[in-house]
A and B are shown apart, each in its own frame.
Chain A
Amino acid sequence: MITPDLGITLVVLPLTGALLAFLIRKHAHWIGLGTALAVSLILASLLTDLVTSPGDYYYTLGGWGAPLGIELHLDGLSAFMLMASVVTGLGVSLYAFSYFRIPPQDNGKSAAFWSLWLFLWAGLNALFLSADLFNLYVTLELIGLSAVALTALAGSRDALISAIRYLLTSLLGSLCYLLGIALLYHTYATVDLTLLSGRITAQPSTQAALALITAGLLLKSALFPLHFWLPPAHGSAAAPVSALLSALVVKASFYLLARLWLELFHPIHNLMPDLLGWFGAAAIIWGSLLALRQIRLKLLIAYSTVAQLGYFFLVFPLADNQSDEMLVGAWQGAFYMLLAHAFAKSAMFLAAGNIQLFSGHDRILEFDHIAQRLPLTLAAFSLAGVSIMGLPPSGGFTGKWLLLEAAIAQERWGYAIIILMGGLLAAGYVFKVIGHAFTQAQTESFISETRTIPAMMQWVALALALVSILLGCYPAPLLELLTIGNPFNFFHPGS
């Protein structure tokens, strides 16, 4: 079929771009930008195709089908995630184009950034399209290694230390995941998701595999209490890298967990959904409280990611054993929040990057009338903050509404209260930053010198933030897109 052909291009193009950027270092940024634009165009046509002829699409690579070959699967959910990946990727590429050409970033790291980023992109797109467990493992590793290398690219002591910690954690996660695959393969003799979903039953080996796979993916998604590696890594990486890490990389493992849950593990009734829900709730509270205490802007935003991730995990208990409409609503809410968060968080990190370049530091209390001197950047941060807080109109509000509706309809007041508290705490830390940006520095230190920030960087941050707001102005079509191909209905054995 035509549609998944385009899908594979979404993987091949960044891969080729990465190799070219590695070989032709001098023009790496042009190759990177060109690839980004090409990928965006392809995604646009892919989405148009999908919307005009909605359905579930499978594509076998090289004509070898499952269980031996690799199959790609495109439905509404994967299209949704691809949208997150490509739009954020385009924005960050535009930003990085300017970022790596101004000192002190123009020291030859540009080529390395572009290769690594394009590898990461290829891995992400491949992950969203894959339909068998082992292929997913490979993509997870590709994503993990590129992300670690990108983190280390900043070169500072903090960046390197957080990179090695990230690497070790990521590898541990992958190994748990691989062990889980081993157990599943041994029991069911296949790794293809569709075939597995037909064969899976609740056995001890499957329970063990589920636990291992979940543990591995939780490590990669930085769900509380396994979030320790995230704030240092996201806080010390270069601004475009932080944006990518928070917006996309941690979402990839969440998506995978959700997908495996929906396709494979749902029939196994156990404690898992509630456990994930409790951890998610704890993440929201813990992450937000710690964000409030931060002195540095980038660490504040990183802890905000920890908190926001908690929201997504609330969908597991809320969508468990529900009627179709409530179930779809909860999943739509979680993924819509995810999409809005991708745009809003990347906008926030890019804005923070601008502020850091401008004043040479990112200590919140020492912001000196940033609002007046970097109005576009502050507008970007504020609009992104509106989505993070879940205030209307924004994508974050739409997602929060759907999750809240699911929680209250099921009378799960604990989760409802946590969702609301998360919004209040987010308002706390977002307005802390905005308030200080409007006023003068709290301390006596003077800003040594300030630099002009290229217009492109400011506008990209603002554009991404605007997208997260626009998501909330007309959510109906995207919510429809999410349900194409029926990703949220699944087979209840015996019902």
Chain B
Amino acid sequence: MTIAILYASTGIGLFSLGLYALIVLTHLLRKLLAINVMSCGVFLVLAGLAAHTPNAIVDPIPHAMVITGIVVAIAATALGLSILLRIHALTGRVHLPGVDEQFDD
């Protein structure tokens, strides 16, 4: 159980770290990486809490969920990167426009 809690807390920690980075950093690639870090955190929590009781066989369902999640994360990251590249090609930068540069909002 202690191992599980260790995994889970690390996962939550990674999640929070990623969340902070997502909000604060402005470079788009870094935001994408922050999302990836956050997903790793969630996967850790999922896998870590998989074992309910110390003696029982580890529950495989959360592992299946993690694998699905990893696949989704890959697809999402790929999409994000390709959009990123297009933005760079069009505007030469990889930052979201600042508040004063926004179009009518």
A–B direct contact (CB < 8 Å): yes
Complex CA gap A486/B28 in Å reads 46
Complex CA gap A186/B39 in Å reads 18
Q: Which residues of A contact B32 (CB under 8 A)?
A: 168
B87 CB contact (under 8 Å) in A67, A134, A164:
A164
| A interface majority secondary structure | helix
Most B Cβ at <10 Å: residue of A134, A138, A158, A167: A167
Interface status of A178 (Cβ within 8 A of chain B): yes
Per-residue CB contact flags for chain B residues 39-75 toward chain A (1 = under 8 Å, else 0) read 1001001100100100000010110010011001001
Contact assessment for A189 and B52 in the assembled complex, using a CB-CB cutoff below 8 Å: yes
Contact assessment for B76 and A145 in the assembled complex, using a CB-CB cutoff below 8 Å: yes
Contact assessment for B15 and A231 in the assembled complex, using a CB-CB cutoff below 8 Å: no
Q: Which residues of A contact B96 (CB under 8 A)?
A: 161, 164-165
Minimum distance in angstroms from B56 CB to a CB of chain A: 11
Q: Which residues of B contact A186 (CB under 8 A)?
A: 49, 52
Report the count of interface residues on B (CB-CB < 8 A): 37
Interface status of A260 (Cβ within 8 A of chain B): no
Contact assessment for B104 and A296 in the assembled complex, using a CB-CB cutoff below 8 Å: yes
Q: Which residues of A contact B68 (CB under 8 A)?
A: 134, 138
Contact assessment for A164 and B76 in the assembled complex, using a CB-CB cutoff below 8 Å: no
Interface status of B13 (Cβ within 8 A of chain A): no
Minimum distance in angstroms from B38 CB to a CB of chain A: 5
B39 CB contact (under 8 Å) in A138, A175, A232:
A175
Interface status of A163 (Cβ within 8 A of chain B): yes
With contacts A141-B72, A179-B15, A231-B105 known, is A164 near B46, CB below 8 A? no
Interface status of A326 (Cβ within 8 A of chain B): no
Report the count of interface residues on A (CB-CB < 8 A): 38
Contact assessment for B75 and A145 in the assembled complex, using a CB-CB cutoff below 8 Å: yes
Complex CA gap A164/B38 in Å reads 17
Complex CA gap A138/B32 in Å reads 20
Most B Cβ at <10 Å: residue of A149, A160, A181: A160
Interface status of B90 (Cβ within 8 A of chain A): yes
Contact assessment for B65 and A164 in the assembled complex, using a CB-CB cutoff below 8 Å: no
Complex CA gap A148/B78 in Å reads 12
Contact assessment for A232 and B105 in the assembled complex, using a CB-CB cutoff below 8 Å: yes
B35 CB contact (under 8 Å) in A67, A168, A232:
A168
Q: Which residues of B contact A479 (CB under 8 A)?
A: none
Q: Which residues of A contact B69 (CB under 8 A)?
A: 178
Q: Which residues of A contact B35 (CB under 8 A)?
A: 168, 171-172, 175
Q: Who on chain A is nearest to B62 by CB?
A: A185
B84 CB contact (under 8 Å) in A164, A189, A191:
A164
Residues of A149-163 whose CB lies within 8 A of B: 149, 152, 155, 157-158, 160-161, 163
Complex CA gap A182/B14 in Å reads 15
Interface status of A196 (Cβ within 8 A of chain B): no
With contacts A161-B87, A178-B69, A189-B52 known, is A294 near B104, CB below 8 A? yes
Q: Which residues of B contact A148 (CB under 8 A)?
A: 79, 83
Contact assessment for A182 and B52 in the assembled complex, using a CB-CB cutoff below 8 Å: no
Contact assessment for B104 and A182 in the assembled complex, using a CB-CB cutoff below 8 Å: no
Complex CA gap A138/B64 in Å reads 12
Residues of A179-218 whose CB lies within 8 A of B: 179, 181-183, 185-186, 189, 191
Per-residue CB contact flags for chain A residues 210-233 toward chain B (1 = under 8 Å, else 0) read 000000000000000000000110
Knowing that A134-B65, A157-B90, A171-B76 touch, tell me 10 more A-B residue pairs with CB under 8 angstroms.
Answer: A148-B83, A157-B91, A160-B87, A167-B79, A168-B35, A168-B80, A172-B38, A175-B15, A178-B69, A179-B45
Show 28 residue pairs from A and B whose CB-CB distance is below 8 angstroms, ordered by the A residue.
A68-B61, A134-B68, A138-B72, A145-B75, A152-B86, A157-B90, A160-B86, A160-B90, A161-B87, A164-B80, A164-B83, A164-B96, A165-B96, A167-B80, A171-B35, A172-B35, A172-B38, A179-B15, A182-B45, A182-B46, A182-B62, A183-B45, A183-B49, A185-B62, A186-B49, A189-B52, A232-B102, A295-B104
